[in-house]
Amino acid sequence: MRAFTQFIQELFNENQVQYPDGGQEAIRDLRRKAMDLFLQKELPDKRLQGWQQSVLNKKVKTDYIQKLQPDPYRPLAEYFQCRVQDLHPTVLPVSNGWYILEKQEVTVDEQGVITGSLFAAIRQYPDLVLPLLAHANLEKENGLVALNEALFNDGVFIYIPDNVKVEKPMQIVSLMNTADPLLVNNRHLIVMGKNTELSVIQCDDSIQKESSFSNIVSEIYLGENAHLHYYKTENKDAASMLLNHVFVHQQSFSTFTSTAITFNAGYICNTFHVNLNEPMAEAKLYGLYLVDKEQVCDNHIFVNHAAPDCKSYQLYKGIMDDEASANFHGHILVAQDSQRTAAFQTNKNLLLTDKAHVTTKPFLEIYADDVQCSHGATVGQLDEEALYYLRTRGIGEAAANRLLMFAFANEIVQNVTIEALRDRLSNMVQHRLHGELNVCAQCMLNNNIVFPITLEE
């Protein structure tokens, strides 16, 4: 891993003056501090398990290329379309690490909602962006977050002013569309004022199956009584590495509900760090990972109950086939003054072969005495009695297995509140369990054909 650290240092020294800064010395200073921190911590972070270190050592390369400028503009519809029936989102596209839009890098609608390129927003709205972006949070950062702060080239900025309910969902589409082995560090910033509501769909896809390293950081700030539904879908190729870090900061009476679904992975690591900073805040986190072959999916969930009268709920499920591996690490921290906390955490896993592997570590750290908290984890196989019941009703063995797996997985999908998205995700889960969902071949983002599931073997 030392070779990778040296590669990054040389890359930073060579390209430092070319990295965008929005005309702000604060961004340049942030990059320098972050690089110093990365050189101290390197990769992997010490908290990662040994098998994860092995995955990173095996997959990380020292010949990645950074695109220091966006590609020449090309209409997104020429190579990528979102046709989920009746969804009609506001699409915020990122291609090869750069926000792409033909005419305007930042748009402002009649309600004052701002969307667009992060660095364009820094130039146009520095007082709004810089206080939240241009600071090094050394106490929370690992080597991957420091790497992102040092090298990030662009990202998406979303700002919702007070008392605005956004009806249309916003869809952040992050694409890898090049034959080059890319190193991408995007940084997204979502800021929601008081009494606001928004749905965000964040999708990561590969158009070309080339080795890549995507290291994404999303910062989310929810004001008083703000409500965010956050959906994350991942359908990546076997050569890719995707590391997502989502930091959520909640004020009183705000709600954060996330549903993260991994359909295909090379190596994927999803980290959620949720801070319930004021009373009556609530967070619900749902996750589903469906991995096979030698794919690896890693989920780290940390919920910090820093104020009294807050609630959190976690339910993550996984199905591992062939020689696939998964890891779930859930940590709930209840501070001493966070009385009347309600926090619940569950992780359930199905292993379909003897070579599939999962490590699950739900964990509670409680310093208050008036709380309702629980955690649990299960690792097992399909229910033999349920299989027998289905077989006696004339359903073949393979179809019975798929029905039970679908019922297991679909509990997560049903938490999606956007009907069109929920139906499409449910359809994708069915096809993934049939082994029919190849990367990008039948992605919900590339066509709108509905394939019926059948019970025939």
Q: How many domains does the chain have?
A: 2
Do residue 108 and residue 142 come from a single domain? Answer: yes
Q: Among 339, 366, 394, where does a domain finish? A: 394
| Residue 62 falls in which region: left (phi positive, over 0), alpha (psi -120 to 50) or beta | alpha
Pair of tokens at residue 217: 């950081």
Check residues 252 and 144 and name the one with the higher pLDDT: 252
Q: Would you place residue 175 in the very low, low, confident or very high pLDDT band (cuts 50, 70, 90)?
A: confident
Does position 397 have pLDDT exceeding 90, yes or no? no
Position 6, amino acid: Q
CB atoms within 10 A of CB 32: 14
Do residue 400 and residue 379 come from a single domain? Answer: no
pLDDT at residue 44, as a whole number:
63
Distance CA 167, CA 334 (A): 34
pLDDT at residue 405, as a whole number:
84
Do residue 247 and residue 382 come from a single domain? Answer: yes
Distance CA 274, CA 420 (A): 27
For 337, counting Cβ atoms within 10 Å of its Cβ (0-12 exposed, 13-18 middle, 19+ buried), the class is exposed
pLDDT at residue 134, as a whole number:
67
Q: Do residues 396 and 404 touch, judged by C-beta distance below 8 A?
A: no
Do residue 401 and residue 384 come from a single domain? Answer: no
Does position 386 have pLDDT exceeding 70, yes or no? no
Q: Do residues 294 and 355 touch, judged by C-beta distance below 8 A?
A: no
Do residue 369 and residue 431 come from a single domain? Answer: no
pLDDT at residue 188, as a whole number:
95
Pair of tokens at residue 121: 């927003």
| Residue 73 falls in which region: left (phi positive, over 0), alpha (psi -120 to 50) or beta | beta
Do residue 416 and residue 379 come from a single domain? Answer: no
- The boundaries of the domain holding residue 411 are 395-457
Does position 53 have pLDDT exceeding 60, yes or no? no
Q: Among 394, 415, 444, where does a domain finish? A: 394
pLDDT of 320-340, one tens digit each?
889 999 999 999 999 999 999
pLDDT of 266-313, one tens digit each?
899 999 999 999 999 999 999 999 999 989 999 999 999 999 999 999
Does position 389 have pLDDT exceeding 90, yes or no? no
Least confident of 130-144, 244-258, 296-310: 130-144
Whole-model pTM: value is 0.90
Q: In what order do the strands lie in the sheet containing 98-99?
A: 98-99, 90-95, 170-176, 197-206, 227-235, 255-264, 282-291, 311-320, 341-351, 371-380
pLDDT of 186-223, one tens digit each?
999 999 999 999 999 998 877 766 778 999 999 999 99
Pair of tokens at residue 138: 């050394």
Q: Do residues 361 and 332 touch, judged by C-beta distance below 8 A?
A: no
Do residue 376 and residue 432 come from a single domain? Answer: no
| 44 cis-preceded (ω within 30 degrees of 0) | yes
Do residue 331 and residue 439 come from a single domain? Answer: no
pLDDT at residue 446, as a whole number:
39
pLDDT at residue 265, as a whole number:
76
Check residues 136 and 343 and name the one with the higher pLDDT: 343
pLDDT at residue 76, as a whole number:
74
Mean pLDDT of the chain: 85
Give the DSSP letter string of 346-409. EEEEEE-SSS-EEEEEEEEEE--SSEEEEEEEEEE---HHHHHHHHHTT--HHHHHHHHHHHHH
pLDDT at residue 441, as a whole number:
41
Q: Among 394, 415, 435, where does a domain finish? A: 394
Do residue 277 and residue 343 come from a single domain? Answer: yes
Do residue 308 and residue 407 come from a single domain? Answer: no
Do residue 389 and residue 411 come from a single domain? Answer: no
Do residue 390 and residue 437 come from a single domain? Answer: no
